[in-house]
Amino acid sequence: MRRAADIAGSIPQQIQGVADAAFGRDVAAWQREHGRHTLPWQNTRDAYAIWVSEIMLQQTQVTTVVPYYERFMKRFPDVLALANAAPDDVLAHWSGLGYYSRARHLHRAAIAIRDLHGGRFPDTVEAVESLPGIGRSTAAAIVVFSRGTRHAILDGNVKRLLARYCAIPGYPGDAKTAAKLWEAAERLLPHDDVEAYTQGLMDLGATICVRSRPRCDACPVRAGCAAFREGLVDVLPSPRPRKPLPHKSIVMLILEHDGAVLLEKRPAPGIWGGLWSFPEAAASDDIAAVCAERYGADVAHGERMADVEHGFTHYTLTISPQRLHVRAIELRAGEAQRVWLPLAEVTDAAIPAPVRRIVDLVNAQSRADE
């Protein structure tokens, strides 16, 4: 079996040019017949609707995005509705979708469109890319679908597809490899049917040229695929270089008082920035002293709940939830970043997924104790 590095660039230029033209034509034809056509953000020229979907789809599967997208668009039907919304409202409608910086960037970009573009979504790919949270590929996709103009895209799924089709070795997150993938994306971009072609790349990457067990038998471009021809499908693209992820542990304090629990707003930037979460402490802390000093709460130690594991891109986290009964509390002024909420209302707030899981566990325990 030959290595990807051995065959890259070995195809004669004349033959490669014919294959490039066939690639664009075959992808567009496949998309029209077999691609996705009924997703809620399709069949529209509304740049705002397309933009929201593209941001939500970053690092998140379509099946997960659809219900969030529909709820988000119902609450924020246009860019001005989003720009004029409170940050907490935006985060609440994003809660559970993860990667919350996307929601903060979305809100900041909507404000920029309102204040700098008169509330009208920009027309050019350069102007779109200048907005917060929008990179080169996302800007291109928005303009292709809303304006029908010709631009290359390179999202995660497309990187995998092109790495295989062109036998480009290396981890796609590496700058040199990414540059080669962009060169391929620009070279393969057809002059016609750009919208069908762009959607076809996305659909192929999401449904056919998947990470594990790709469906090469159903791929419309396998005849020109170097990885398929050379038996390299299972080794391309090259995986992320493995490094052991650091591990962190925290205790989350579930202070319960008169049917309500205490939540704190997390600072931005940072993990879960702008979201509401339970107070935290280190495992070595004196929990009673922490509650008294920080929150003026006299607590009785309650039940230690099962640990909750959560993974981030750069580390893993073990959360040890501790239920605490508040016997008495000292009222304090100027605590805008803290709120007592009835337990039944916590899931309506902008909370991260692990906190939502803990709330569900607390509710289940409370029902079992009744």
pTM for the structure as a whole: 0.80
Q: Before 352, cis peptide (omega within 30)?
A: no
Tokens of 104: 């903060």
Split at pLDDT 50, 70, 90, the class of 369 is low
| 5 pLDDT tier (thresholds 50, 70, 90) | low
Catalytic residue, from 54, 195, 256, 370: name it: 54
Quick one: pLDDT at residue 3? 59
User: pLDDT tens digits, residue range 16-47?
Assistant: 544 677 999 999 999 999 999 999 999 999 99
The pLDDT-based confidence of 15 (bands split at 50, 70, 90) is: very low
Statement: residue 10 has pLDDT above 90:
no
Q: To the nearest whole number, what is the mean pLDDT of the chain? A: 90
Q: Is the pLDDT of residue 9 over 70?
A: no
Q: Which of 60, 55, 61, 58 is nearest to 72 (CA)?
A: 55
Comparing 42-51, 161-170, 200-209, 234-243, which segment has the lowest mean pLDDT?
Answer: 234-243
Active site residue 330: no
N-terminal to C-terminal alpha carbon distance within the chain: 65
- Summarised one tens digit per residue, pLDDT across range 307-338 is 999 988 889 999 999 999 999 988 765 567 89
Please report the pLDDT score of residue 334 as a whole number: 59
338-342 and 276-277 strand pairing: unpaired
Burial of 240 (0-12, 13-18, 19+ CB in 10 A): exposed
The fraction of the chain above a pLDDT of 70, given in percent, is: 92
Of 15 and 278, the one with more pLDDT: 278
* DSSP secondary structure string for all residues of 291-312: HHHHH-EEEEEEEEPPPEEEE-
CB contact set of 137 (below 8 Å; sequence gap of 6+): 153, 154, 155, 158
Distance (Å) of CA 40 to CA 43, 46, 310? 8, 12, 30
pLDDT at 240: 87
Instruction: Sketch out the chain's domains with CATH numbers.
Output: 4-230 (1.10.340.30), 247-369 (3.90.79.10)
Distance CA 135, CA 114 (A): 20
Q: Give the mean pLDDT of 102-118.
A: 96
The SS3 assignment for 188 reads: helix
Q: Please tell me the predicted confidence (pLDDT) of residue 259.
A: 87
Give the model's confidence band at 267: pLDDT under 50 very low, under 70 low, under 90 confident, else very high. Answer: confident
SS (H, E, C) 237-287: CCCCCCCCCCEEEEEEEEEEECCEEEEEECCCCCCCCCCEECCEECCCCCH
Arithmetic mean of pLDDT, 346-358: 90
